[in-house]
Amino acid sequence: MRDTIATWGRTGRGRRLPAEAGVWVFIGGDLIVFGFLFVVYLGYRAKDPDLFARSQRALSVDAGAVNTLVLLTSSLLVVLAVRAIRAADPRVAPRLVLGAMTCGIVFATVKAFEYDHAIGHHHTPTGNDFFLFYFLLTGLHLFHVVLGLGVLTFLWSLALRAHRLSPLGISFAEGCACFWHVVDLLWIIIFPLVYLIR
């Protein structure tokens, strides 16, 4: 079993893709779903660009930018945590994962305030097509952030045992990191698409 893990996804130079193959199947499916939603969003926006431009002005670009920086920071912390796990350092790795989890909680909190502000100004999913897509895309992404916090909790439990993880455990840690990076990547697409591009 360990030999299979060690050789899965190896390139000609002896490197391998991080994580298990199943993780990449899940991530690929997720990216296809979001890709489809992005295309549909762009199609609706092309039909009524004025409505979408007017509606975008109701969003807080500052809040979106803060959340972008928060998630980029969390990704950096996860990269460092996985590096510490590979180095079998149970002292540093859990702290880095907790830092990434804190960033995820900050993201969700800022998003909750954004939703509260939007709904308080009567910008709801039933208001117009833009806000339907705004709540759909950001809400689905927020669901992934919450799911990702659960994944990071598992990563934290692995980080606590970094000094005695098997190759399979390290592969699980890599899988957790890959999922979190995809959550960040999706936001990097959603932020300019929904908040900035007019």
88 near 162, Cβ under 8 Å? yes
Angle at 17 between CA 16 and CA 22, to 5 degrees: 130
**Contact predicate 186/138, CB 8 Å:** no
The listed range with the strongest mean pLDDT (4-8, 26-30, 55-59) is: 55-59
Segment (H or E) for 107:
helix 93-120
Q: What is the pLDDT of residue 198?
A: 76
pLDDT (tens digit per residue) in 89-124? 989 999 999 999 999 999 999 999 999 999 999 999
Q: What is the pTM of this model?
A: 0.87
Cβ atoms of residues 139 and 59 within 8 Å: no
Rounded Cα–Cα distance for residues 197 and 56 (Å): 9
Give the containing element (helix H, strand E) for 42.
helix 21-47
Radius of gyration, alpha carbons of the chain: 19
Residues 2 and 6: their CA atoms lie apart, in Å, by 6
| CATH tag for 21-196 (out of 3.40.462.40, 3.40.50.2000, 1.20.120.80, 3.40.50.150) | 1.20.120.80
Domain boundaries, the chain: 21-196
